[in-house]
Amino acid sequence: MGILEKISEIEKEIARTQKNKATEYHLGLLKAKLAKYRAQLLEPSKSASSKGEGFDVMKSGDARVALIGFPSVGKSTFLSLMTSTASEAASYEFTTLTCIPGVIEYKGANIQLLDLPGIIEGAAQGKGRGRQVIAVARTADVVIMMLDATKGEVQRSLLEKELESVGIRLNKHKPNIYFKPKKGGGISFNSTVMLTQCSEKLVQLILHEYKIFNAEVLFREDCSPDEFIDVIVGNRVYMPCLYVYNKIDQISMEEVDRLARKPNSVVISCGMKLNLDYLLEMLWEYLALTCIYTKKRGQRPDFTDAIILRKGASVEHVCHRIHRSLASQFKYALVWVSLGGGVGVRPNIASGLSAEQDILCSSVQCPCPAWGLEYLVCPTPRGMHAHPGWT
Ligand SMILES: Nc1nc2c(ncn2[C@@H]2O[C@H](COP(=O)(O)OP(=O)(O)OP(=O)(O)O)[C@@H](O)[C@H]2O)c(=O)[nH]1
Ligand SMILES: [K+]
Ligand SMILES: [Mg+2]
C-alpha cells in the first residue's frame, strides 16, 4: 500500500470512529499515525520538477506576504494594484504559473508581496503546483488567503485543510507544552492546568507510536492530542492569516456585511478598488512590525527613515541592522517610546553610559508594558534637526 492509500485509510477510519471516552485512545493513536505518514509525504521528492521554475524568489524587504488562493480569485489583479509590478491577470484559470514578487511600500516599510499560481484541492499531495506554492507559503510572515466572495465558504475550508495537512497552522499559537526527549528514565508527565483533552495514558500511547520511551512532558495549557502531536513532530509553522474576500462588487450588501464580520477577514474589490486601504492597515497589524527611529544627541529623529523590525525585537537586533560590528562594541542606549503620542526618556542601566553615543526612539505601539527599555535602543550615525523636546 502506498502512503497516500494509507493516509486515506486512516482518514476514513477516523471519520467512521465515533468520538467518545471509549475511543479516545484509539483516535489519538490514529492521529499520531496520520501525522507520521503526512510527514513522509512531505519529504522532498527526488523529481526535479520544482527546480528552475521561478519559485525560488529571494526574500527581500522587511517582511514577506504570500497570496494563496484558488485560480482566478484575483491574486494577480491584487498584486498589480498594490505594487509597481504587473502580473498578468485573465479570466481563465491558472494564468499565473510561477511566483511573482512585488513590493508594497507602507509606513516606510518594504513588504514583499508574492503572487502565486492558484492552488486546488489535493495541492498538498502535489496536484497542480501545490507543493511549490505551499513551500513558498511556509516562508512567508503572513499569508493572505484570497477568496472569491461569490463562491461561498467551501474554498476557504478546502484551502485551510490543505495548509493544515502540511503542518501550517493558521492564526494559532504554538501549544504551550514543554517536551524534551531523554536518554533514559521513562516518561515523566506533568501538567500545571486541568487537562480535559489529554491524559497521561494517551500521551504515553502517542509517544510510543513515535518510538519515544523516555521524555519529559509538561502541559502548561489544556491542549488537544493534535496539538501535542504538533509539538512532538516539531516542524509546524504558526502563521497569521488574513482571509480576503475579493469581488464584493458581485454580491449583495447583506452578504458583504456577513463576510466582513467574520474573524480575521477583510472584504475588498480589486475591480472597483474598494476597501484596499483598510486591508493594508490590517496587513500591517498582522505583520506586527514596529518602526524604530534613531537620533543623534540634541537632535530630533528623522521620522521618514525607520528601521523596521518585528515587535519584540531586541536592542541587539537594532544594532545588527545598523552595522554588523555595532553589537560587539555596544555599551548602552537611551530609548524613547511613544505611547499615544507621549515621548519618554529612560537611561540605560546596563553597562555605563557614554554620552557620545547616539540614541534612538521608537514609534507608537511599542509591545512592552511600560517604557520599553529592552526593546528599542541603540547608537546610530544619523543626523536630524534639533528639537527642544529631545536631549
Ligand atoms: N468582478 C470582479 N472581477 C475581478 C475582481 N478582481 C479580479 N477580477 C477578475 O477575475 C479574473 C481573474 O483574475 P486574476 O487576477 O487573473 O486571478 P488569479 O487569482 O491571479 O488567477 P490565477 O493566476 O489563474 O490563479 C480576471 O478576469 C479579473 O479581471 C473584482 O474585484 N471584481
Ligand atoms: K486567472
Ligand atoms: Mg494569477
Q: Are 17 and 33 in contact (CB under 8 A)?
A: no
Q: Which pLDDT score is estimated for 312?
A: 65
Q: Which pLDDT score is estimated for 39?
A: 74
Is a pLDDT exceeding 70 seen at residue 336? Answer: no
Q: 116 alpha carbon to ligand 3 midpoint, in Å?
A: 7
Q: With a 6 A CB cut-off, is 87 part of the ligand 1 pocket?
A: no
Mean pLDDT of 192-208: 94
Q: Which pLDDT score is estimated for 152?
A: 74
Q: Are 76 and 95 in contact (CB under 8 A)?
A: yes
Q: What number does the ligand 1 atom closest to the CA of 89 have?
A: 16
Q: What number does the ligand 1 atom closest to the CA of 71 have?
A: 25
Q: Of all residues in the chain, what percent carry a pLDDT higher than 70?
A: 79
Which residue's CA is minimally distant from atom 32 of ligand 1? Answer: 247
Domains of the chain, first to last: 3-43+175-233 (no CATH), 48-169+239-286 (3.40.50.300), 290-362 (3.10.20)
Q: 77 alpha carbon to ligand 2 midpoint, in Å?
A: 9
Is a pLDDT exceeding 60 seen at residue 101? Answer: yes
Ligand 1 pocket test, pick from 68, 72, 93 with the greatest ligand atom count within 8 Å of Cβ, gives 72
Q: 81 alpha carbon to ligand 3 midpoint, in Å?
A: 13
Q: With a 6 A CB cut-off, is 121 part of the ligand 1 pocket?
A: no
pLDDT in tens, 104-126: 999 888 999 999 999 888 877 77
Which residue's CA is minimally distant from atom 1 of ligand 1? Answer: 247
Q: Which pLDDT score is estimated for 190?
A: 95
Q: Which pLDDT score is estimated for 128?
A: 73
Region of poorest pLDDT, from 32-46, 49-63, 121-135, 367-381 = 367-381
Range picked from 26-30, 135-139, 238-242 for highest mean pLDDT: 238-242
Q: With a 6 A CB cut-off, is 93 part of the ligand 1 pocket?
A: yes
Q: Which pLDDT score is estimated for 116?
A: 93
**Model confidence band, residue 337 (pLDDT cutoffs 50, 70, 90):** low
Phi, psi (degrees; rounded to nearest 5) at 13? -65, -40
Q: Which pLDDT score is estimated for 326?
A: 77
Q: With a 6 A CB cut-off, is 77 part of the ligand 1 pocket?
A: yes
Is a pLDDT exceeding 90 seen at residue 192? Answer: yes
Mean pLDDT of 61-77: 95
Q: What number does the ligand 1 atom closest to the CA of 246 have?
A: 31
Higher-scoring residue by pLDDT: 65, 322: 65
Mean pLDDT, rounded, of the chain: 80
**Model confidence band, residue 197 (pLDDT cutoffs 50, 70, 90):** very high
Q: What number does the ligand 1 atom closest to the CA of 115 have?
A: 20
Q: 125 alpha carbon to ligand 1 midpoint, in Å?
A: 25
Q: 135 alpha carbon to ligand 2 midpoint, in Å?
A: 21
Q: With a 6 A CB cut-off, is 275 part of the ligand 1 pocket?
A: no
pLDDT in tens, 288-331: 887 777 777 767 777 777 788 877 667 777 778 888 887 777 76
Mean pLDDT of 347-352: 33
Which residue's CA is minimally distant from atom 7 of ligand 1? Answer: 74
Range picked from 93-102, 121-130, 140-149, 160-169 for highest mean pLDDT: 140-149
Mean pLDDT of 53-67: 83
Q: What number does the ligand 1 atom closest to the CA of 96 have?
A: 23
Q: What number does the ligand 1 atom closest to the CA of 73 have?
A: 19
**Model confidence band, residue 222 (pLDDT cutoffs 50, 70, 90):** very high
Mean pLDDT of 83-93: 91
Q: Which pLDDT score is estimated for 388?
A: 28
Ligand 1 pocket test, pick from 68, 77, 100 with the greatest ligand atom count within 8 Å of Cβ, gives 77
Q: Are 364 and 336 in contact (CB under 8 A)?
A: no
Q: With a 6 A CB cut-off, is 155 part of the ligand 1 pocket?
A: no
Mean pLDDT of 196-210: 94
Q: Which pLDDT score is estimated for 292?
A: 78
Is a pLDDT exceeding 60 seen at residue 223? Answer: yes
Higher-scoring residue by pLDDT: 236, 47: 236
Q: Which pLDDT score is estimated for 382?
A: 31
Mind spelling out the 3-state secondary structure of the chain?
CCHHHHHHHHHHHHHHCCCCHHHHHHHHHHHHHHHHHHHHHHCCCCCHHHCCCCCCCCCCCCEEEEEEECCCCCHHHHHHHHCCCCCCCCCCCCCCCCCEEEEEEECCEEEEEEECCCCCCCHHHCCCCHHHHHHHHHCCCEEEEEEECCCCCHHHHHHHHHHHHCCEEECCCCCCEEEEECCCCCEEEEECCCCCCCCHHHHHHHHHHCCCCCEEEEECCCCCHHHHHHHHHCCCEEECEEEEEECHHHCCHHHHHHHHCCCCEEECECCCCECHHHHHHHHHHHHCEEEEEEECCCECCCCCCCEEEECCCCHHHHHHHHCCCHHHHCCCCCEEECECCECCCECCCCCCCCCCCCEEEECCCCCCCCCCCCCCCCCCCCCCCECCCCC
Q: With a 6 A CB cut-off, is 165 part of the ligand 1 pocket?
A: no
Q: 9 alpha carbon to ligand 3 midpoint, in Å?
A: 35
Predicted TM-score (pTM) of this structure: 0.77
- Interface confidence, given as ipTM, is 0.99
Q: With a 6 A CB cut-off, is 95 part of the ligand 1 pocket?
A: yes
